[in-house]
Structures are given as structure tokens and as C-alpha cells.
């Protein structure tokens, strides 16, 4: 890895169409219940073909002939790794650097209005997916704080995406939304066997930790945090589950700190202990 000028990235390749294995309505119901119990995610009835398509490779790999048999296998307490593999496939991990970019201006303004900033300054990316959100926050904090004491925690239910996050190594197309100045300062361009990739630079990676956490189960004490990003995950939960997750995350943010949700998410009726500052941005009371 070396510091070289970054050229404009090539456009992302289009995904290939794929087929789906059949699943009966009764079988899909079993998976809906299992997914709800283990992840808190409510799968709508329209997701049947999607779930079948995503799990088909596991059925083949485990040489089970039906979704009923696969569901039975997942009930076996010795099959924890298989259950994790299924969860990894069922979760939707779409993310990007500087996704919903106004939130990073909100973060910047919040910090600039703090007098004085109390260190260590801690931020939580509470459904971090493959790390783009956590590293975006890290670049903003590195820009503002330099070598002062700041830390970021990224958590997710999917171990597969967390492995990718820990590497901090991404295809060059993903760099398209990172400001050029940040690319030069905080990212390294891949060469030889890393051609076409970029790596978050070590001083950034050292400040970001990733660990698995299920937002729908009792969470360890990670905080208190100055800011929590809880973006684009509440959409998968029903209202009581959403309320429980928002309460649990808010409990780990300092009074006066921020809780930020995704642009398509609403906390109407469940913003207990939160003061709305603008749509999707809340201050902890
Ligand atoms: C669409 S991504 C959002 C990533 C990032 N926050 C963003 O806005 O770009 C949703 C993430 O939530 C995670 N997730 C789903 N259910 C979860 C749960 N119960 N606990 C923790 N993470 C969960 C998924 O694995 C996925 O990586």
C-alpha cells in the first residue's frame, strides 16, 4: 500500500440476475419466526423468494433437500455456526462511505459547539455493516481532533460483515463518495495484489474497534458514548422492537449526546428521553 494520487474510480459492475429455490408458504412462516426470534427482524410475506434465494447455497452446502429439513437443522443447539451463516445471508448489509452525508455535518457542528470537548470522545456505529459508516465517522474525527483521544465502536449482528470491517480494505469503487482530501490523508491506494483496492490507513484503523452485538438482546455496557449512529436498521423491526432498541441505544449515550437514525426511519411515538433537533437527529435528555 502506498500514498498515490487517486483517480476517479471505475463504475461498479451491475449485479448478475440469479434464480431462486422454491419454498412453501408454511416453510417461509417457519423462517419468519426463526429470524424474528434470533435477530428481531420482521420479514414481510413478500420476502419469501428473497429468503429462499439467499439460503439456497446453505441447503446445497449442508446437503439438505428441503427448507423444512434446513429449518430443523438450525434448531439444533450444536449448529450455532450454521445459524450464524444463515443470519449473515438474511441480513441486508447495504452501506457506503458518507451515506446520508448531512449527518456528518451534524456530527461536525455538534463537536464544534462543544466547549470544551471532553476526551475520550466516543462514537458508536450501532449497525455498522462492513465498516464504511464507522470509518467515515473516524475520518471526520481525525480531521477535527487529530491525535487527541477519540474512539469508535462498530457493532453488527453479522460476523461476515464484521470480518470485512476489521480489514478496512475496500474496492476502489467504494471510494467514490469519499472527499478527495480525505482519500489522500486517510486512505492508502492498493498496488500489485491489492490493485483496485484501498485500505483505511493504520492511524484510522487503530481507533476503530468492531465487535458483534445483537441490538435486540441485552447489550453489554459499551458506552457511555458522545454520539450513536443507529441508521438504516430500525426499518427491519416492528414497533415494540424498535422502541426497545432505541431505548437500549439511548441508555448508552451521555445526556446532551446525539442519537442519529436513518433518513427513512421515524421515531414518532418512541422517542422517549430524546429531544428532536431536526428530522432523524435527537439529543439525549
Ligand atoms: C442496511 S445496513 C446499515 C449499515 C449502516 N448503518 C448504514 O446506514 O449504512 C443494516 C445492518 O444492520 C444489521 N442488523 C440487522 N439486525 C440487527 C440486529 N438485531 N442487531 C445488530 N445489527 C443488526 C445488519 O447485519 C446490517 O449490517
Cα-trace Rg, the chain: 20
Q: What is the pTM of this model?
A: 0.92
Give the pLDDT of residue 22.
Answer: 82
Task: Please check the confidence at residue 9 and state whether its pLDDT lies above 90.
Answer: no
Compute the distance between CA of residue 99 and CA of residue 97 in angstroms, rounded to an integer. 5
30 lines ligand 1 (CB under 6 A): no
Task: Please check the confidence at residue 11 and state whether its pLDDT lies above 90.
Answer: no
* Mean pLDDT for all residues in the chain: 93
Give the pLDDT of residue 147.
Answer: 92
Distance 214 CA to ligand 1 centre (A): 10
Ligand 1 atom closest to 132 (CA): 9
- Full DSSP string of 258-282: EEEE-TT---TTT-TTEEEEETTEE
pLDDT, tens only, 101-126: 999 999 999 999 998 999 999 999 99
Cα 73 from chain centroid (whole Å): 28
Lowest average pLDDT, out of 8-12, 45-49, 111-115, goes to 8-12
> Catalytic: 54?
yes
Task: Please check the confidence at residue 4 and state whether its pLDDT lies above 90.
Answer: no
103 lines ligand 1 (CB under 6 A): no
Give the pLDDT of residue 13.
Answer: 33
Distance 93 CA to ligand 1 centre (A): 6
Task: Please check the confidence at residue 34 and state whether its pLDDT lies above 90.
Answer: yes
DSSP 37: H
129 lines ligand 1 (CB under 6 A): yes
Q: How far apart are the two ends of the chain, measured CA to CA in Å?
A: 45
Question: Stretch 31-52: mean pLDDT, rounded?
Answer: 96
Hey, how many other C-beta atoms are within 10 angstroms of the C-beta on 76? 10
Lowest average pLDDT, out of 8-22, 66-80, 112-126, goes to 8-22
92 lines ligand 1 (CB under 6 A): yes
Question: Which residues does 168 contact at the CB level (< 8 Å), separation at least 6?
Answer: 131, 135, 199, 200, 204, 205, 208
Task: Please check the confidence at residue 62 and state whether its pLDDT lies above 60.
Answer: yes
pLDDT, tens only, 138-158: 999 999 999 999 999 999 999
244 lines ligand 1 (CB under 6 A): no
Task: Please check the confidence at residue 3 and state whether its pLDDT lies above 80.
Answer: no
> Catalytic: 243?
no
Exactly one of 56, 99, 156, 231 is catalytic; which is it? Answer: 156
Q: Which of 161, 84, 166, 89 is nearest to 127 (CA)?
A: 161
84 lines ligand 1 (CB under 6 A): no
pLDDT, tens only, 187-201: 999 999 999 999 999
Distance 233 CA to ligand 1 centre (A): 5
Band the pLDDT of 10: cuts 50, 70, 90.
Answer: very low
Give the pLDDT of residue 1.
Answer: 74
Amino acid at each position: 500500500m502506498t500514498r498515490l494520487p487517486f483517480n476517479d474510480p471505475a463504475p461498479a459492475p451491475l449485479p448478475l440476475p440469479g434464480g431462486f429455490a422454491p419454498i412453501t408458504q408454511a416453510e417461509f412462516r417457519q423462517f419468519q419466526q426463526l429470524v424474528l426470534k434470533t435477530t428481531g427482524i420482521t420479514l414481510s410475506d413478500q420476502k419469501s423468494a428473497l429468503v429462499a434465494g439467499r439460503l439456497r447455497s446453505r441447503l446445497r452446502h449442508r446437503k439438505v433437500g428441503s427448507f423444512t429439513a434446513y429449518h430443523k437443522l438450525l434448531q439444533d443447539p450444536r449448529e450455532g455456526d450454521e445459524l450464524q451463516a444463515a443470519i449473515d445471508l438474511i441480513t441486508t448489509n447495504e452501506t457506503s462511505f458518507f451515506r446520508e452525508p448531512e449527518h456528518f455535518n451534524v456530527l461536525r457542528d455538534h463537536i464544534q459547539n462543544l466547549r470544551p470537548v471532553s476526551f475520550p470522545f466516543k462514537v458508536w456505529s450501532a449497525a455498522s455493516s462492513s465498516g464504511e459508516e464507522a470509518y467515515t465517522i473516524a475520518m471526520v474525527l481525525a480531521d477535527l481532533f487529530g491525535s487527541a483521544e477519540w474512539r469508535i465502536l462498530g457493532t453488527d449482528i453479522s460476523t461476515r460483515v464484521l470480518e470485512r470491517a476489521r480489514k478496512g480494505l475496500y474496492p476502489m469503487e467504494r471510494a467514490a463518495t469519499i472527499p478527495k482530501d480525505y482519500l489522500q490523508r486517510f486512505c492508502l491506494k492498493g498496488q500489485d495484489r491489492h490493485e483496485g483496492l484501498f485500505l483505511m490507513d493504520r492511524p484510522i484503523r487503530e481507533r476503530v474497534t468492531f465487535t458483534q452485538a445483537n441490538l435486540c438482546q441485552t447489550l453489554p455496557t459499551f458506552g457511555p458514548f458522545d454520539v450513536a449512529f443507529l441508521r438504516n436498521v430500525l426499518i427491519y423491526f416492528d414497533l415494540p422492537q424498535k422502541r426497545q432498541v432505541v431505548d437500549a441505544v439511548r441508555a448508552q449515550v451521555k445526556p446532551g449526546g446525539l442519537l442519529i437514525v436513518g433518513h427513512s426511519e421515524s421515531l414518532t411515538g418512541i422517542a422517549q428521553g430524546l429531544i428532536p433537533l431536526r428530522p432523524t437527529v435527537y439529543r439525549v435528555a
